[in-house]
Amino acid sequence: MAIDEITAVMRARQLVSEVNPANVPVDITSYASHVDAKIHLQSDLEPDEPGWSFENSGKYHICVSEKDSSERQRFTICHEIAHIVLGLPSEHKSLPWWSYNTRPLSEILCDIFAAELLLPYELFKPIADNEEISFLTIDELAERFVASITATGSRYAAVNIAPCAFVLSEMGKVRYTSRSLAMREVSAWITPRTDIPKGTLSERIRNGEVTDGPYEIEADSWFSDWTRGGVLLEDARHISRWDQTLTLLWFEDEEVPPSIQEIDEDLMGLKELDGILPWPGRKRRK
């Protein structure tokens, strides 16, 4: 059966509910035990070889590089658990592990699954919703959950109640955007594979400018076909080692600007009375 993103998320949440982690950071070994996997730390893995796994007589073995940071080890373990639970074979052969450029879908699904385990919705969302939107919050959450900034930022935007988006760009091009529900509902769309917009903080820090955000930027600088206007707040980080730029965007006062239609309706006020009652529905009046 082909696995899509929703299935991957549902299976991950099922595993989380079965293990029912209560504390932050989540105990990753409890997930591994639940799927009958043993974790091995290995010293002879290459720098671009964070981990691997195999099955033997119904028992799984997950091997991670002992040289990696605990954040990376934890994500790798969760990624390998995804391979086990989803039954997805490993396809990647020659791409950088961090690249979303042309990564096989199975690897992206395993990353989505891994983020669900590492940053469980029930534990992560209440904390994310209660903190002020900022990159600093992402830093703090990443530290608290012992997860990478990229994984945490992506999850932070996805579950946030406020209108915000987290953008991952590589080599100056947008690769992936995670948007909150409020952003998705108003079609705040950032076109993948396009250049980081000119004049944005993200572009400037990628070009070596040293500056602290957030900065204000017209919303249509980032969003495609955006007619609502408004000003976004933008904060960004650049990881030169991988030429990755991480961007956090959000609306000030956590409100999306109204559309022209919504403004018109506001100005028009209530509809003129015409003697026809809008309630109850036609069927009931018969």
- Indicate the residue among 42 and 194 with the shorter CB distance to other proteins: 42
- Minimum gap (Å) between residue 57 Cβ and other proteins: 7
Is 247 within 8 Å of 212 (Cβ atoms)?
no
- Minimum gap (Å) between residue 167 Cβ and other proteins: 23
Give whole-number Cα distances, 240 to 182, 195, 207, 215, 224, in Å.
31, 17, 10, 21, 27
- Minimum gap (Å) between residue 101 Cβ and other proteins: 12
- Minimum gap (Å) between residue 263 Cβ and other proteins: 49
Q: Residue 123: helix, strand or coil by DSSP? A: helix
Which region, judged by CB under 8 A, interacts with other proteins, from 21-29, 86-94, 222-230, 261-269?
86-94
Task: Map residues 90-109 to x or -, x wherever contact with other proteins holds by CB under 8 A.
Answer: x-xxxxxx---------x--
Q: Can residue 215 be called a binding residue for other proteins (CB under 8 A)?
A: no
Provide the CA 268 distance to its chain's centre, in angstroms: 39
Which region, judged by CB under 8 A, interacts with other proteins, from 17-25, 80-88, 138-146, 218-226?
80-88
Angle of the 121-130 helix axis to the 149-159 helix axis, nearest 10: 80
- Minimum gap (Å) between residue 36 Cβ and other proteins: 13
Binders of other proteins: how many residues, by CB under 8 A? 34
* Whole-angstrom Cα Rg for the chain: 22
Handedness of CA 225, 243, 136, 115 (dihedral sign): positive
Q: Which ranges of 87-186 would DSSP assign to H, the alpha helix?
A: 105-118, 121-130, 135-145, 149-159, 181-185
User: Which residues inside 20-79 make contact with other proteins, applying CB under 8 A?
Assistant: 38, 40, 42, 44, 46-57, 61, 63, 76, 79
As a dihedral over the C-alpha atoms of residue 148, residue 150, residue 154, residue 160, rounded to 10 degrees, the angle is 60
Which region, judged by CB under 8 A, interacts with other proteins, from 14-22, 87-95, 150-158, 223-231?
87-95
- Indicate the residue among 51 and 163 with the shorter CB distance to other proteins: 51
Provide the CA 121 distance to its chain's centre, in angstroms: 12
| Residue ranges binding other proteins (CB under 8 A) | 38, 40, 42, 44, 46-57, 61, 63, 76, 79-80, 83-84, 88-90, 92-97, 107, 110
